[in-house]
Structure 1
């Protein structure tokens, strides 16, 4: 590859080269941008390493773009960053690092280009290309990162045990890069991860979940999870998922391996949706199966109530993993709780009432729930899979028919609590809640239509039975 030709196409490299020459600094573009050039991946983040003061170089480059281009300076790290259009450009002086055993934050001192490359996590991120006019486009690749890219290998530039012990987050990054790029982790490097998995305990939950979410958002997230599982990393921060693995047998009765089933469901969801939280619902949908597993001599292994217990487990797991405790958690919790409901509606004898209740509980998330349910159909028997998916087609048609007729997906009571209190001159009380609930139940059961007129008529009948008399009239 002619790197000079590639760099010539982007003005920033010409400008940085001019500024570096003016300051007498050898300067190189390094890391992810170089990797992505080779892999043909788009990138708008550029890192420059110079043999000198990176902040000084950043200021000079910013000045070339005008007096009002701000320079963000991070003195503790000796780095500076400028934004130019949609580019994020970072500058740092070449450095070497040393670590304390109880921290991933290094002690930094000035170093050579090779020392700077040695401190990088993987060979594919340790390439450098010169940007000075004397060495423009010259590749510096002391660890054969280019060859590793061609072989599709993730490998550390130096001893993996030292690399991962110094900064254990790199173990998750190894898995993430392997999952994103479809690469293998070189055996010695993978052994280093297994040897140091326990070191993940010094990494913050926020850092861990950031890497995990990137793995979840890959095209085939099961690959990353298998690497996390086999390496021992997953057990360090997500033991509930590890507990899904394994098959128990009594006589000729066995259950499926719920870990690998969950990964298949996750891949199935990933094939139809880029929604991170729908993917999390796939991860969590069977999370309570180990806790609800029972053996029955007649039917074999059962997991009764795993959907309800899984929903109850969701807030605690989200809190511990530093996931958001907001509507996104509630969305995942809802889908976990409801994920068995649609398949129960396949029976031709199912009532409209059951369909209304599912629409009411799922609300606007009904389509996502059905995506999860379809993804949950995993079997090596293609005929069985096709039959189950055809059943879901039937359920979707039934739900659509009921929704068009009754409009209960985002149910709002036709008569509000405030109206009930005004009509009967009541204060907030149990009887107001009871009237609202009985009206809702009548609509769910199909005894009345979902409209104000019929709701008011029923309300007056119910109120009379409770000894309430109308004080005010309300227009229907």
Structure 2
């Protein structure tokens, strides 16, 4: 468990952050108090303050109704917005002491749910306790009175924070019935905070897993992204698989838990995939990249083609063409989850190419092989480097060392050739217009065939000058006549 403070440390963290943001909250608190309204710092802001992680986004809840809140915020800062007014939320930006604070103030809520959708019938409440009980988890159901600095924790969130436990303020059955997306959020918080999910919460997630089907795919995708982009998503992914939730929106992942045959002729594909994801995240950091959803989806899903392609051939188990099959499966699944087309295309391409290196791993890389590898990877080359390196999970130290050195050799060869040639944009020295001029032909199939011939020569032999390219083209054309 990472970063869980003791009660004393948590309280000290909170006081330090309250002092840091005092110029903002004191002024805001004075405005609301003078107007006869309560104002509390609430939810994630309190949790993060207790953990010592409070940033520049501040969440408040108030007894004031939205119109009153908006009028008060206009007196606090010239930059406000009411896009969330229907849900009781008014936003603002405030610059103080060279820091820009993003502030959201929401009226106490006492929503009701119809049980058929996760959209609440918005209702405003009258008390902070009533507002907090409708929140997702106890660690997000704490508040601090801006005026008195009184800590409000009716559901034991501080103790759960100190214990590193995810629980719900009301019963998990009521909480998840109201909003099934909270089940995915539990997995995300488990990974983000390094917390354990309480047994009764896990049971409710298991029993109510099918309720996730009333949630829009866009919201599911957003939660899945949030989980995958944490530093350690394994715990949350395991929770989603073990409770059966993953079966309802990404069934290809639990399907990786292939039964091991009696001779253990293949590794556990599910555990292997999680390890590849762990290693891809480590490589992202080591190579200086920000968290990348394409890298992480590709790492998690690179072997989804194995279950449908598994065959036993004598004493061996095979997964022929699982790269191609997997790319098609992932394309279909990510479309169903409404991922952007660019993300889908990139993830599918990486999965299709993730075995390409192994065709060369045991031998020397010729210049033509390096050119083809770079050409096929295109814009995904750096991501392919990460995925291919991460895909080595063997416990055989000698084999792991050989694979690592082989890939280092490949990257070195790519850099070496890139210094001599324009590898990132490999194309023939003659374009379509030049081909037509030299051969005296009109646009058509033959122009494309000539282009492919010159491209193949470029890949195999490297760059040539324009005159040599012209002679090659004329010789090829003469041989066709």
TM-score (norm 1): 0.91
- Matching of residues 232-271 of structure 1 within 5 Å: 232-249=244-261, 252-271=263-282
**Corresponding position of 2:128:** 113
**Corresponding position of 2:287:** none
Q: Between Structure 1 and Structure 2, whose CA radius of gyration is higher?
A: 1
Farther off after superposition, 196-205 or 107-116: 107-116
Matched residue SS, 2:106: strand
Matched, 1:84 2:94: yes
| Rounded Cα–Cα distance in structure 2 between residues aligned with 1:399 and 1:437 | 23
**Corresponding position of 1:459:** 473
Matched, 1:14 2:29: no
Farther off after superposition, 215-224 or 30-39: 215-224
**Corresponding position of 1:474:** none
**Corresponding position of 1:276:** 293
Matched, 1:142 2:154: yes
Matched, 1:309 2:328: no
- Matching of residues 371-410 of structure 1 within 5 Å: 371-410=386-425
| Rounded Cα–Cα distance in structure 2 between residues aligned with 1:316 and 1:31 | 37
Rate the CA distance shift 1:7–1:248 in 2: closer, same or farther, 3 A: closer
**Corresponding position of 1:293:** 310
Q: 2:283·2:390 contact (CA, 8 Å) conserved in 1? A: no
| Rounded Cα–Cα distance in structure 1 between residues aligned with 2:367 and 2:89 | 64
Per-residue CA distance 1:261-308 (angstroms, 9 max, x = gap): 11100110011212221111112211111111111004x110111111
Farther off after superposition, 174-183 or 81-90: 81-90
Farther off after superposition, 121-130 or 350-359: 350-359
Among 205, 212, 220, the alignment partner of 1:200 is 212
| Rounded Cα–Cα distance in structure 2 between residues aligned with 1:202 and 1:450 | 60
Rate the CA distance shift 1:124–1:451 in 2: closer, same or farther, 3 A: farther
Per-residue CA distance 1:435-459 (angstroms, 9 max, x = gap): 111111122222x634433222201
**Structure 2 portions without partners, runs of 5+:** 1-10, 285-290
Query: Would you say how many aligned residue pairs link Structure 1 and Structure 2?
Result: 458
- Matching of residues 173-212 of structure 1 within 5 Å: 173-212=185-224
**Corresponding position of 2:378:** 363
Among 356, 360, 365, the alignment partner of 1:345 is 360
Rate the CA distance shift 1:107–1:190 in 2: closer, same or farther, 3 A: same
Q: 2:139·2:158 contact (CA, 8 Å) conserved in 1? A: yes
Matched residue SS, 2:330: helix
**Corresponding position of 2:164:** 152
**Corresponding position of 2:455:** 440
How far is 1:5 from its partner?
5.9
| Rounded Cα–Cα distance in structure 1 between residues aligned with 2:84 and 2:386 | 45
**Corresponding position of 2:335:** 319
**Structure 1 portions without partners, runs of 5+:** 468-476
Rate the CA distance shift 1:9–1:394 in 2: closer, same or farther, 3 A: closer
How far is 1:166 from its partner?
0.9
Farther off after superposition, 398-407 or 435-444: 398-407
Q: 2:94·2:101 contact (CA, 8 Å) conserved in 1? A: yes
Q: 2:361·2:403 contact (CA, 8 Å) conserved in 1? A: no
How far is 1:377 from its partner?
0.5
Q: 2:438·2:470 contact (CA, 8 Å) conserved in 1? A: no
Matched residue SS, 1:46: strand
Farther off after superposition, 170-179 or 219-228: 219-228
- Matching of residues 88-99 of structure 1 within 5 Å: 88-99=102-113
How far is 1:412 from its partner?
2.0
- Matching of residues 399-438 of structure 1 within 5 Å: 399-438=414-453
> Which consecutive segments of 4 or more residues in structure 1 shift more than 6 A?
none
Rate the CA distance shift 1:426–1:41 in 2: closer, same or farther, 3 A: same
